[in-house]
Amino acid sequence: MTSATYSAIEAVWRIESAKIVAGLARMTRDVGLAEELAQEALLAALEKWPGSGVPDNPGAWLMATAKNRALDHFRHNKLIEAKHEEIGRETEEGFTPDFDAGLEDDIGDDLLRLIFTACHPVLSTEARAALTLRLLGGLTTDEIARAFLVPEPTIAQRIVRAKRTLAEAHVPFEVPRGEDLAARLSSVLEVIYLVFNEGYSATAGEDWMRPALCEDALRLGRILAELAPVEPEVHGLVALMEIQASRLHARTGPSGEPILLMDQDRARWDHLLVRRGFAELERAEALNREAGGALGPYALQAAIAACHARARTPAETDWKRIVALYDALAQLLPSPVVELNRAVAVAMAYGPEEGLVLVDAIAAEPALRGYHLLPSVRGDFLVKLGRFEEARGEFERAAALTRNTREIRLLLDRAAALHPGLRVVK
């Protein structure tokens, strides 16, 4: 097979797979089965297209093929069922697949159902992330494995187990309604942001970022914003990711070393993404106004990111507004990590002493034990207060707590940069 045809099939798959799986899942009410049938259609394409060429409407071809496989599957099962009945056994469920329902019309609804199913809380966050990238992002198991730096069989296992869990828990293929919706939606948003963050500040490995993963998450977020246009938090999350992604180029130096927000060359921020982020944030704010509600956690974080994006220099940052936004965020999501970020903003707005007081107040939080940003932030404040020796110790402590090699180097460099003459000989 020529690699050109293979690449073309891969591209078609990337575009069509989510729709095909979603459509099949609606027919079969079984996401796992739907995915297997879609995979069979892909295999058929891999066999056929190199000879025949890519058909004019490759999506329809794949769908029709998958649908035929589904019919075969159910016919086969019917036969088994009939045999079972012959020997007097009862069939488990009298479900008939819905093959006649219109396809193109509600594909949006099907995709939404698929997202909610893949991100169902019955699954672990890791399983949700893998399944979402596989089913909605059209990524191969291998691509997901490389993205998360785990062996391929681990991801394959994770996906198989996730599909089994969904089947065993009889998770319905539907969009949750009423009270359920908010909790389920936040489970979806959490997964997308987790994928984005794994790309934005890789938790382990040689690279400090894996931008492809950020792009996958952004694509999922943008799709979701189209599918659920009235949900302010969806737009809030997309705004947050667009603005954060705008800094991707500025976050590394020439040899791949990380550059922190305050030290970034702001002219290198991607203004196309910044503008898109602002537009999404405005949408979130407008929806909130209409509903008479306050900004949700993602919109608040996006508003904070927007404050940075608006400032041409770090000195021009509206830190007081950022503190106010963190106050609101801390009310909604009381967490030591939010408190830590709030402390940073407070230090910028009102001085490092104020920041240090806040950081010391949360230093004993169990949730922050082992969190490298705590000593790193504390080190920052201490540097500003001229307490270099203590700062050095904090940076070294932070370096010992992170697994990302780039970050370790950055922290050790900061430690080493502090005047060596100040080192106390022990």
Which residues lie near another protein (CB under 8 A)? 4, 7-8, 10-12, 14-15, 58, 108, 215, 218-223, 226-227, 249-250, 254, 265, 267-272, 276
* Residue in the block written with tokens 């494995």: 145
The residues that bridge with 403 in the sheet, in sequence order, are 204
Q: Which is nearer to another protein, 13 or 395 (CB)?
A: 13
Q: How far is the CB of 270 from another protein (least distance, A)?
A: 5
| Rounded Cα–Cα distance for residues 377 and 295 (Å) | 27
| Rounded Cα–Cα distance for residues 189 and 331 (Å) | 19
* Residue in the block written with tokens 């307490």: 387
Instruction: Say if CB 258 and CB 410 are below 8 A apart.
Output: yes
Q: Which is nearer to another protein, 126 or 270 (CB)?
A: 270
Q: How far is the CB of 364 from another protein (least distance, A)?
A: 42
Q: Which is nearer to another protein, 58 or 355 (CB)?
A: 58
Q: Which is nearer to another protein, 3 or 96 (CB)?
A: 3
Q: Which is nearer to another protein, 180 or 265 (CB)?
A: 265
Q: How far is the CB of 155 from another protein (least distance, A)?
A: 18
Q: Which is nearer to another protein, 68 or 314 (CB)?
A: 314
Cα–Cα nearest to 408, from 208, 196, 199, 200? 208
Instruction: Say if CB 233 and CB 239 are below 8 A apart.
Output: no
Q: How far is the CB of 141 from another protein (least distance, A)?
A: 16
Q: How far is the CB of 148 from another protein (least distance, A)?
A: 17
Q: How far is the CB of 227 from another protein (least distance, A)?
A: 8
| Rounded Cα–Cα distance for residues 415 and 395 (Å) | 5
Q: Which is nearer to another protein, 221 or 352 (CB)?
A: 221
| Rounded Cα–Cα distance for residues 150 and 90 (Å) | 43
Q: Which is nearer to another protein, 55 or 176 (CB)?
A: 55
Q: How far is the CB of 251 from another protein (least distance, A)?
A: 12
Q: How far is the CB of 62 from another protein (least distance, A)?
A: 13
Q: Which two structure tokens, joined as six digits, stand for 115?
A: 């997202």
Q: How far is the CB of 8 from another protein (least distance, A)?
A: 5
Q: Which is nearer to another protein, 161 or 222 (CB)?
A: 222
